Amino acid sequence: MLKFFRKNEKASRWILIIGMTLLMVSWLVFDQSSTFMTDMLTGRATWATTVDGVTVTETDRLRVQQELRAISLLGDPTVRALGLEKDPVHWYLLTLEAERAGLVGGVADGQSRLAETALANKVPENNLLGALCRESGQTPTEVFETLAKLNGIDRYVNLMASGPSRVSSTRLEQSAATLLAAVSGEIVVLDGAKSKVEVAAPSEAALQLQLATYGAQKSGEGKSGFGYRLADRMQIEWITIPAASIADLVQQSPALSNIELRKYWLEHQAEFAPSALAPTPAATSFDASRDAVKAKVLAAAILEKRQEISKFIADRMQMSMRGLPQVNGYYTLPAEWKNSQLTLAALSSEVAAKFAIPLPAVVTNGEGWITPAEINSLPGLGIASTNRFGTQPVTAGQLVQALRELGGKSTLIAQVGVVSPVLANEAGDLFAFRATAVEAAAAPASVDAVRETLVADVTRLNRFDALQGMTSKIQSEAVDQGLAAVAATYGVTVEPFNDLRQSDKQFLQYGLKLPGQLAGIGSDAATAKAIVERAMSLPSARLLAELPVGERTLVLSVPEKLAIVVVRIDRISPMNQGDLPALVNNQRFRQVAVTDAAHGSPQELFSKDALVARNGFTLANPGTESDESESGAPAQAPAPAPTPSFTVTPVAPAKAGQ
């Protein structure tokens, strides 16, 4: 072999060149052989199957993960609401359903979505496209296809959640019949507050648990209306200058002497023109107009005196705070301000001395606390207001709500330790008040702060729990002995109800489903629906009164009201057929009908579990699903591309039919 190479140098050179070339090619190809072969084999492997016999490969899974990385950057509201960006299975199945519905467009549809998003974010389309390609690892064409799928999902969800125009007339008529059927009968409400049900006194642990659960919520906001958050509260003091004191002062004014009144009459005779029915010429004299002249002069003098007193109080309080620094209209009060401030008692004395009126009263709310709502109910002060802050009057309650110590308002300047502007009520009384201490709204620090309310609520809850355990007994007693016997047993009354509907036509035509009222629980949609549906399920061939009482009696739990209701149905009145045409053609009613007939919210209809169940989606190797992150990326996914220098604002979802 060596002799051959020595004798054939030229041939050996070509053999060497060809051999080295083959070696380099094999090295370039098979250096990445592991990845290449893995990708090839993985792509052919089955990721999952569907009930329709569709096989989803690992290549499909990798493509879906790329799509997830792209849509995660867009912040689409539908994607976020459904949590699609968190799971490749979820995204794949909803995309599949949208495609089957014919709602996914092509590349052009995706290009339109990209253009809309770029315009909304004021960035060049190429920059946005580049960011999506880098983030997802897709080509531009693949990005457009992904955006087209996103548009398709938006259309699909929109169509399924709000497609009243596609509802059949038969279904609309059935919905109208159910919603407008009127049921009458009698009801007994057994609630935890009034019913005679013996329960043990609440333990301290139960009270503490109730407070811990609902202490941060306002009354009425928690479950069953529970809530113990203490409202903003304060301690206040105020000075009152009665209108009578000002009127008495003005009555003694020289401006009300006969000379001054006659002078005013001469200068303003046109204001006191005689009536065409005046019986005698004397009726045109000053004597005939004196009372009217005096009333007008007195009113003007009282108004002037009120303004004078208000200005004095404002000037005096401002003088007492001279030299104190201010920031944004608020004073910086020294630590000892409470001891050095001008007291309202001193101000009262100065007002009395200055204007020669009885000493104005100084009042406080006592040692306790008062809320803004309670201030509004205080006699006199509660209805007083000031125009100091603009054309709209501001009340004392509004001023305390605007205290800087309670968060403040940019349009109202008020703070603890500073006297308010002078307020006046319709009677003409003048007021000036000052908050001396405040406590911002917060959960009670202890059970004792709201013990009485806690005991009542926990007792109410315990009675309701006891009643729920007695429903079979209550049902038997109602059927065997009647509702009156049930009411007597629990110390309540039987109440009639007439024409209970799930909604009223007057509201349905405006797209509102408002159920009728029931004594003891008010308006409750679930209860009204249960009663109406039971009534409509009864045999229609016989009169209701001829049916066994047991078929017409039902016991329902109303957890939100902590009540058990016992109902006997006596009559059902079908809807007026003449109302059907107008309702069926009413777009707002059609929307109500669709919503009422829907089997769950969009979150339920398009949840991952619902989609998996509908499509019979089965993973070939379920164990690998846990290896994927919430974002849908595989555990060994490469590090994500750098975040673009702009934030993508989502555009409005595509509408059905677009």
Name the residue type at position 262: R
Helix intervals (H) in 162-284: 169-180, 204-214, 243-251, 258-267
Paired sense of beta strands 430-439 and 233-241, if any: antiparallel
The answer as to whether 338 is a domain residue is: yes
Claim to verify: residue 240 and residue 195 sit in the same structural domain: no
The answer as to whether 422 is a domain residue is: yes
627 band by pLDDT with thresholds 50, 70 and 90? very low
Would you say 372 and 406 are in contact if contact means Cβ atoms under 8 Å apart? no
The answer as to whether 172 is a domain residue is: no
Spatial CA neighbour of 224 closest among 529, 524, 467, 442: 524
Residue 183 has pLDDT above 80, yes or no: yes
pLDDT tens digits for range 84-96: 888 899 999 989 8
What's the mean pLDDT when you consider all of the chain? Answer: 82
Q: Which pLDDT belongs to residue 645?
A: 45
**What's the mean pLDDT in 110-123?**
88
Q: Which pLDDT belongs to residue 80?
A: 83
Question: 500-511 b/e with 16+ CB inside 10 Å = b?
Answer: bbbbbbeebeee
Q: Which pLDDT belongs to residue 4?
A: 55
Would you say 252 and 269 are in contact if contact means Cβ atoms under 8 Å apart? no
More confident residue, 453 or 654: 453
Would you say 582 and 10 are in contact if contact means Cβ atoms under 8 Å apart? no
Q: What share of the chain is helix, strand, coil (3-state, %, to 5)?
A: 55, 15, 30
Q: Strand runs (DSSP E) across 40-146, as ranges?
A: 46-49, 55-57
Claim to verify: residue 364 and residue 500 sit in the same structural domain: no
Claim to verify: residue 484 and residue 461 sit in the same structural domain: yes
Claim to verify: residue 394 and residue 458 sit in the same structural domain: no
Q: Which pLDDT belongs to residue 28?
A: 52
Q: Which pLDDT belongs to residue 206?
A: 94
The answer as to whether 569 is a domain residue is: yes
276 band by pLDDT with thresholds 50, 70 and 90? very low
- Whole-structure pTM value: 0.54
Token look-up 């035509």 returns: 509
The answer as to whether 396 is a domain residue is: yes
Residue 626 has pLDDT above 50, yes or no: no
Cα(408)–Cα(235) distance, rounded to whole angstroms? Answer: 17
More confident residue, 477 or 281: 477
Claim to verify: residue 129 and residue 263 sit in the same structural domain: no
**What's the mean pLDDT in 219-237?**
90
**What's the mean pLDDT in 534-560?**
85
Q: Which of 97-111, 114-128, 258-272 has the lowest mean pLDDT?
A: 258-272
Claim to verify: residue 202 and residue 123 sit in the same structural domain: no
Claim to verify: residue 355 and residue 412 sit in the same structural domain: yes
Q: How many domains does the chain have?
A: 3
Cα(46)–Cα(447) distance, rounded to whole angstroms? Answer: 61
Task: From 532, 554, 573, give the residue that closes a domain.
Answer: 573
Which CB contacts under 8 angstroms, 24+ apart, belong to 436-440?
Answer: 436/234, 436/235, 436/236, 436/237, 436/338, 436/364, 437/234, 437/235, 438/232, 438/233, 438/234, 438/235, 438/403, 438/405, 438/406, 439/230, 439/232, 439/233, 439/234, 439/369, 440/232, 440/405, 440/406, 440/407
State phi, psi for 567 to the nearest 5 degrees.
-125, 135
The answer as to whether 644 is a domain residue is: no
Tokens of 603: 């979150």
Claim to verify: residue 257 and residue 402 sit in the same structural domain: yes
Name the residue type at position 73: L
The answer as to whether 37 is a domain residue is: no
Claim to verify: residue 147 and residue 195 sit in the same structural domain: no
Claim to verify: residue 467 and residue 529 sit in the same structural domain: yes
pLDDT tens digits for range 3-52: 555 566 666 666 667 767 766 656 554 444 444 444 444 457 888 888 66
Claim to verify: residue 485 and residue 390 sit in the same structural domain: no
Residue 601 has pLDDT above 60, yes or no: no
By the 10 Å C-beta count (0-12 exposed, 13-18 middle, 19+ buried), 436 is classed as: middle
State phi, psi for 415 to the nearest 5 degrees.
-150, 160
Cα(110)–Cα(131) distance, rounded to whole angstroms? Answer: 15
pLDDT tens digits for range 367-378: 889 998 899 999
Domain boundaries, position 136? 42-164+602-627
Cα(203)–Cα(209) distance, rounded to whole angstroms? Answer: 10
Half-sphere exposure of 159 (CA within 13 A, CB side): 17
Claim to verify: residue 301 and residue 417 sit in the same structural domain: yes
**Among 603-607, 617-621, 634-638, the range of highest mean pLDDT:** 617-621
pLDDT tens digits for range 131-175: 999 988 999 999 999 999 999 988 888 776 655 445 556 667 777
The answer as to whether 492 is a domain residue is: yes
